[in-house]
Amino acid sequence: MVIVTKPDATPDQIDKIVKRVEGVGLKAQISTGEQRTVIGVIGDKTLLGDMPIGSMSGVEKTMPITAPYKLASRQFREEPTIIAVNGTKIGGRKLAVMAGPCAVESTEQIVTIAKYVKNAGATFIRGGAFKPRTGPYSFQGFGLEALKMLATAKQETGLGIVTEVMTPSEVEIVGEHTDIFQLGTRNMTNFYLLREVGRTKKPVILKRGLASTIEEWLLAAEYILSEGNPDVILCERGIRTFETHTRNTLDLNAVPAVHELSHLPIVVDPSHGTGIRSLVSDMTKASVASGADGLLLEVHHDPDHSMTGDGAQSLFPEQFEKLMQDIKPIAIAVGREI
């Protein structure tokens, strides 16, 4: 259930509504919009009994949320969520561009790439410090040392940092160095990790699972939201299908579908979605045309010697620079800007 307040509801009235809800053992989640405040009631609503919530001062109406994902639903919040981080608004008119290598390999490497992507128009540097790999003998990342390298890149360029967190025990240390947590496709259903990042106040990029439905993806976001963190960014990165030519099948249906079902912003990762450098540019353009709020792209100045083996999907800096210019008219055509 959601409680929608009147436009002129006072902070004191809202506080009394929240206390009434929490007084019977339910959880209240507050979403403040431009015109109204919406209070999501989480838990067994029969605990409210005949309590006249709808007649309390400041309440305009109450209504049920039919979607299984309550806080992520458009029924909970009609306005798009806009997340402000490191001077960038994700979900607003301007596209957020997050670019960089699959993994942080050295200070020189990450600083060099950060400067390239910054000059081309990116607003975040992305790079893995802890790497979840399919095989146990593959490069797993440099961990804490890589986080320090990312911090140096931020100091040199001013770019925000996006990096992956893999376990609940790493949330604190990664959180000290990153501006946005990234949860990879393998961790979409790591419910302990979802809850842990939900207890922080730092934005989270939640990648879609390898073979997850949109509803399952939104329910994973619900875990984070239900712990009190409202800053969830969904990321479509391709799903596994019977197709073997590309690394994954980039499901751009998900972009308008998510905007229809949820208020959360959604970004697209065409690099993992295709796995093929020559396809990344076209699928990036298609992502912008479909209404994506941002892009997550792999860029490497020497991809043939990448330590992760993901060089085949990484753009060269000059390709990334050209792509940033190519998507400008597309962004304008759909009411966005770079």
Q: Per the confidence metrics, is the pTM higher than 0.85?
A: yes
Under DSSP, the state recorded for 249 is B
β-bridge partners, 88: 85
Q: What is the pLDDT of residue 204?
A: 98
Which pairing describes strands 232-236 and 266-268: parallel, antiparallel, or unpaired?
A: parallel
Which residue has 């798009």 as its token pair? 80
Chain CA centroid to CA 85, Å = 12
As given in the structure block, the two tokens for residue 177 are 């160095």
In the chain, the DSSP E strands lie at: 2-5, 27-32, 37-42, 59-63, 83-85, 88-90, 96-100, 124-126, 160-164, 180-183, 204-207, 232-236, 266-268, 294-298
In the chain, the domains with their CATH numbers are 2-63 (3.30.70.1140), 83-333 (3.20.20.70)
Closest CA to 177 of 203, 141, 199, 148: 148
Task: List the 59-63 sheet strands across, edge first.
Answer: 27-32, 37-42, 2-5, 59-63
- Alpha carbon distance 219, 209 (integer Å): 12
As a whole number of Å, the end-to-end CA separation of the chain is 38
Q: Contact 235/205 with Cβ under 8 angstroms?
A: yes
- Alpha carbon distance 22, 42 (integer Å): 10
Q: What is the pLDDT of residue 141?
A: 67
Q: What is the pLDDT of residue 273?
A: 97
- Alpha carbon distance 72, 89 (integer Å): 19
Q: What is the pLDDT of residue 276?
A: 96
Helix (H, G, I), strand (E, B) or coil at 232: strand
Q: How many CB atoms lie within 10 A of CB 139?
A: 15
Which residue has 């128009």 as its token pair? 121
User: Dihedrals φ, ψ of 80, to 5°?
Assistant: -60, 140
As given in the structure block, the two tokens for residue 36 are 């109204």
Q: Contact 236/268 with Cβ under 8 angstroms?
A: yes
> What digits encode the pLDDT tens for the residues 20-66?
888 888 888 888 877 778 888 888 777 887 778 888 898 988 888 88
> What digits encode the pLDDT tens for the residues 135-175?
775 656 678 899 999 999 999 999 999 999 999 999 999 99
Flag residues of the chain having pLDDT under 70: 131-134, 137-141, 309
Angle among Cα 86, 89, 91 to the nearest 5 degrees reads 145
Q: How many CB atoms lie within 10 A of CB 315?
A: 23
Q: What is the largest CA-CA distance in the chain?
A: 67
Residue 312's alpha-carbon distances to 99, 137, 209, 215, in angstroms, are: 15, 20, 22, 31
Q: Contact 222/213 with Cβ under 8 angstroms?
A: no
Q: What is the pLDDT of residue 137?
A: 54
- Alpha carbon distance 253, 213 (integer Å): 12
